[in-house]
Amino acid sequence: MSAPTTFHGWVCHGKDAPMKWEEMKIRAEDDYCVDMDVTDCGLCGTDIHTMDANWVSPRYPLCGHEIASICTRVDSKVQNVKVGDRIGVGTQSGSCHRAECPACSTGNENLCPIQLFFTYNSVWPNGDEAYGGYADKWRGDCRFVFKIPDILSNEIACIVFCAGVATYAPLKRHNVNADSVVGVMGLGGLGHYGILWAKAMGAKVFTMSHNDRKHDVALELGADDYIGTNAAEHLTKYTGKFSHILCTGISPDFKWKTYTPLFKPNGVFINVNLPEWNFPEISPMLLVASQVNICGSAIGSPIEIEDMLQFAAKTVLKPYLPTYPMKEAPQAVADFNAGKPRFRFVLKDLLFVCVLSKYKAGGLSPI
C-alpha cells in the first residue's frame, strides 16, 4: 500500500482568519512513522491560544491536536501498534531520543531540552510542517502514539491525550492517594479532569472557583465541596487543610499569601495553567515560612501516558464532552470562544465512524 502524500483538514491561516477546509501536504514517512485515519479530535484551549497568537508567533497554517484514530499504515521500525488498532496522539509528537539527553534517557521525553516536536505549530526533523488533527489523516512518530484500551471509546480517548495527561501525570507524580486532600482551582477542561482523577485516586476533593456559577456541576463531577475564592472568609476555615492544590485556572488578581496558609506542612502547589499573564512574585519569607512546594507540570511522558490510559480503563473514566461533526469545526471554535464547553469539545469524523462501526459486531474495540 503506497503512503498518501496529502491530507484534508481545517486550517487557520492567521489571527482572526476564518478556518478553511484544505488539502495539505502530509509529512514524509520514515522508519518510525504511523499513518492514521482520524475519527475524533479534541478541541483544546491550547488550540485557541495558538490560533490567536496569544503565546508565541504561530507557524500558520495549523489545525489542532488530541487525536484518536484507526491505524492504517506502519513503517519498518514500528512495533507498538499495528494496522487496524485504535490509536491516539496528544500534544507532543516527538523528542530527540538521544542517549545523552538528560530527559529522554530517563523517561522524561516531555521535558526534552534538545528537540521537541508538537502535533501542530512545529516542524518535523526532516523539515516538513506539522499541521494537526482537525483533519482526515495524520502521520507521525510511533514513539508518541498509543494503543487505546478496548473499554475507552475514541471520543473519550482523544481528550485524555492532552487535558487528561496534563492533570493525571502531576497528581500521580506527587502521590495523590486516599490520604490526600486536593483543591482543584478552576473548573474547565483541565479542572474537570482534576476532579475526576483525584477522586479516582481516592482523595478528598474541593473545587475552588471565584464564583458560585459551577457549584452544582462540581458536586455532580464528584467534588466533596465547593469553595468560592472571591471572599477571604470563604477560605479561612480551610487553613491547614490541603495536601495538594492543582491549579488549572486563576484570575490575574491571584496572590500567593491568600493560598499558602491553606496547605498542610509540606503541601504541594501544582500549576498546569498557562495564562496570558505571569504569576506574582513570592517573597522568600513567605516561601520559607509556608514550607510549600511550588511546581509546574508539562503534559506527560510516554510512560505516564501509558499509565494514565490503563488507569482510565480501570476506573471507567467518564469526562464531559459534547461532540460536533468534523465539518462543523468552525462552529465548534466559535462556541468554544463563547464559553460554551462543558467541558471539552470533540470533533468527530462521522464518515470514518460510520464505516468502521461495522467492526463492533466482530468484537473489536469501540469507536
Those residues whose C-beta lies under 8 Å from the C-beta of residue 257, and which sit 6 or more positions away, are 286
The residue type found at 303 is I
Tens-place pLDDT, residues 125-181 = 999 999 889 999 999 999 999 999 999 999 999 989 989 999 999 999 999 999 999
The domain spans of the chain are 6-152+317-362, 164-296
- In this prediction, residues 193-219 reach a mean pLDDT of 93
Distance linking the first and last C-alpha atoms of the chain: 24
Residues 180-201: tens digit of each pLDDT: 999 999 998 899 999 999 999 9
297-340 pLDDT per residue, tens: 999 999 999 999 999 999 988 888 889 999 999 999 888 888 77
The C-alpha cell that represents 220 in the structure block:
455532580
On the question of a cis peptide bond just before residue 61, with omega within 30 degrees of 0, the verdict is: yes
- Catalogue the E-assigned strands of the chain: 6-11, 20-25, 33-43, 67-74, 86-89, 92-94, 117-118, 122-123, 129-130, 137-141, 146-147, 181-185, 204-209, 225-228, 242-247, 263-271, 293-296, 323-325, 345-348
Closest CA to 365 of 82, 98, 162, 176: 82
Q: What is the pTM of this model?
A: 0.91
Please give the class, per CATH, of domain 6-152+317-362: alpha beta
Tell me what pLDDT residue 355 has: 43
pLDDT tens digits along 276-296: 889 999 999 999 999 999 999
Query: What is the residue-averaged pLDDT of the chain?
Result: 90
Instruction: Assign 351 a pLDDT band (cuts: 50, 70, 90).
Output: low
The whole-number pLDDT of residue 170 equals: 98
Which position has the higher pLDDT, 290 or 365?
290
pLDDT at 240: 96
Contact in structure between 162 and 89 (CB atoms under 8 Å): no
Contacts with 37 (C-beta within 8 Å, 6 or more apart), sequence order:
69, 70, 72, 136, 137, 349, 352
**pLDDT band at 366; cut points 50, 70, 90:** very low
Please give the average per-residue pLDDT across 96-107, as a whole number. Answer: 96
Collapsing DSSP states into helix, strand and coil, what is residue 299?
coil
Within this chain, domains 6-152+317-362 and 164-296 share the same CATH topology: no
Question: b/e per residue, 316-354, with b = 16+ CB within 10 A?
Answer: ebebbbeebebeebbebbebbeeeebebbbbbbbeebbe
Q: Tell me the one-letter amino acid at 172.
A: K
Q: Which CATH superfamily is domain 164-296 in?
A: NAD(P)-binding Rossmann-like Domain (3.40.50.720)
> In the chain, what percentage of residues exceed pLDDT 70?
95
pLDDT tier at 80 (50, 70, 90 boundaries)? very high
